[in-house]
Amino acid sequence: MEIILDVKGMTCGHCKSSVKGALEGLEGVTSVKVDLSTGKVNVSYDQTLVSVEDMRKAVEDQGYDVVA
Ligand code: 9UX
pTM above 0.90, yes or no: yes
Predicted pLDDT of residue 68: 75
pLDDT tens column, 8-27:
999 999 999 999 999 999 99
Cα separation, 43 vs 52, whole angstroms? 10
CATH dotted code for 2-66: 3.30.70.100
DSSP string, the chain: -EEEEEEE---SHHHHHHHHHHHHTSTTEEEEEEETTTTEEEEEE-TTT--HHHHHHHHHHTT-EEE-
Ligand 1 binding site (Cβ under 6 Å of any ligand atom): 11-12, 14-15
Q: Which of 7, 8, 10, 11 to mutate to test the pocket of ligand 1 (most atoms within 8 A of CB)?
A: 11
Interface ipTM: 0.84
| Burial per residue of 42-63, b for 16 or more beta-carbon CB atoms within 10 angstroms, e otherwise | ebebeeeebeeebbeebbeebe
